[in-house]
Structure 1
């Protein structure tokens, strides 16, 4: 098969479309003929040499895909050749075929095209696991989501609104603020011009990290829950424990990629049960900024790095 290979750590130019060995599936794996994958910030970090795949995972980048099942292992449950699926991966998505544990495979939601579905697994699983499973966002509570126009942000806004929560989003331009409001955010702030720390939120979904730690703590309501899922603004910050105690607040941090298969499987089952019906009903729509041929993954990386996108950037076969 052909796949994108990282020739050496560096810029987008190190991504090369070349022939590689076919994946070797295990007894519990599903082999997918890939229709599309999607670009995530973790892929940029891996390309730069800062985020290697977990032990045993494919060196090929790509944390999600969609396509058609072409082979199933002896221990696979619920899938058979010909099924249209999407999957949460530990790596390997930028390829013509990928092997993935069956627990991380999900049916394509009704009403979504096989290509669009490639942009759903990572954002749906990230938002569901962090905002709802960990932070327990409830109806009537307020969610503050940073990077509201990102792939994760656009999913968080829509999913929180579908569950009856109030949503405040931050974004870096007037156009992105407008798009957040169109997706259902009750408020959207341009973080370059407005101070989000004066708001009050029960749950904060943060992709920035250290640079936002103090302001996030200021913005937490009593009993609030801060969930950190990224470190774009650094990894080391100072925390006012007195304020955390006074607010009876909590901070958690989590990623998806290195979790055990059973944990990922539980998240995927929750997404299929509780998120896919909302997508099929039209309450949540995939937000796709651009589709780029997979062989031109370098161009897709440049687009993501520019910060000009809204929603997901897909790589199509």
Structure 2
């Protein structure tokens, strides 16, 4: 099979594309004919060595996959050949990645693709929707009628968070850095979109909160979170989700934090069990099936251009130099 792989850490150019042996499913595993995969920031961190994780010597990059079941190993009863499936959580904890024409994955990490949903859509939604679902459903327990804020509503996580929170009945506030991105955020359900380029953004936000009530759940996506700014904007017993800023050491205004019964929540998707992720995936599938969740796709490439896909992802995530709106999806 053809695959995008590395044999050592390094820049995107270290990704090779060539022939590797076809994998075979073992007990509890499923062999998938890949139709679509998607790029995530964590893919680039693992490839570069910025995140140290155990991995095979010849390591196929990528976490997300969508495609058709070719074969199932012993003990698998949830799937059979011909089923369409999507999944994530590959390429980590020593598991092989997904940027290949055939992928073997544990059945516990796979979910059926709903009828009428494309493999592109399923792959684009995979990691980001599981991440958002874990945050909103499991960790923060967002309730209908609450006010939800997320930075960057047109981004990979942000766009899914806006749509999911809206489907859960929340009032949604987000930010954007261009007129096109702001319009997109409104089109997917954001009640208020703030232009973070504007000097009076905080004044606009405060005016809205004075009229509509403070924020119940704040989802922080910035690499340098400013908790001194965030805490005063929170409703009593509000929750702040932190899922960015590995090296950040923000100041925490302790007084207003504990006197308002606030909670800080930190989580990483790859710490969740397969059972926790399955429970979230079932909710995601309902949203995908009824059209309430449509991940934006900003760039489509063939699998052979995996190195370019990683360059584009780094330009967007690390360099902040890309106007790209949405996920990068590759087809096998």
Secondary structure at 1:175 match in 2: helix
- For the pair 1:285 / 2:300, whether they are aligned, the reply is no
Alignment of 1:262-301 (within 5 A): 263-272=273-282, 274-301=283-310
Q: Deviations over 1:168-198 (max 9, x none)?
A: 1122223212211111100111223223874
Alignment of 1:98-177 (within 5 A): 98-177=103-182
Secondary structure at 2:59 match in 1: coil
Which structure would you say has the larger Rg? Answer: 2
Q: Deviations over 1:140-182 (max 9, x none)?
A: 0011112211121111111111121100112222321221111
Which residue matches 1:304? Answer: 313
2 CA distance for matches of 1:250 and 1:84? 39
Choose from 227, 232, 237 the match for 1:223. 237
Q: Deviations over 1:43-98 (max 9, x none)?
A: 12122211234567983221111001112121223101111110112311111122
Q: Deviations over 1:105-140 (max 9, x none)?
A: 011122211232111221221111111211000000
Which residue matches 2:47? Answer: 47
Residue 267 of structure 1: how far off its partner (Å) = 1.9
What is the TM-score of this pair, normalised by structure 1?
0.91
Choose from 236, 244, 247 the match for 2:260. 247
The CA RMSD over aligned residues, in Å, is 2.2
2 CA distance for matches of 1:231 and 1:76? 39
Which residue matches 1:238? Answer: 251
2 CA distance for matches of 1:280 and 1:316? 22
* Alpha-carbon contact 2:68-2:84 (below 8 Å) kept: yes
Residue 287 of structure 1: how far off its partner (Å) = 1.6
1 CA distance for matches of 2:139 and 2:174? 20
The farther-off stretch of 192-201 and 170-179 is 192-201
2 CA distance for matches of 1:230 and 1:304? 16
Residue 18 of structure 1: how far off its partner (Å) = 1.8
The farther-off stretch of 2-11 and 291-300 is 2-11
2 CA distance for matches of 1:137 and 1:41? 25
What is the TM-score of this pair, normalised by structure 2?
0.87
* Alpha-carbon contact 1:53-1:90 (below 8 Å) kept: no
Secondary structure at 1:31 match in 2: strand
* Alpha-carbon contact 1:34-1:65 (below 8 Å) kept: yes
- For the pair 1:20 / 2:20, whether they are aligned, the reply is yes
The answer for unaligned runs of 5 or more in structure 2 is: 92-96, 317-322
Residue 214 of structure 1: how far off its partner (Å) = 2.6
1 CA distance for matches of 2:57 and 2:269? 13
1 CA distance for matches of 2:251 and 2:173? 25
1 CA distance for matches of 2:147 and 2:34? 38
* Alpha-carbon contact 1:53-1:59 (below 8 Å) kept: no
* Alpha-carbon contact 1:86-1:108 (below 8 Å) kept: yes
2 CA distance for matches of 1:52 and 1:16? 20
1 CA distance for matches of 2:7 and 2:56? 19
The answer for unaligned runs of 5 or more in structure 1 is: none
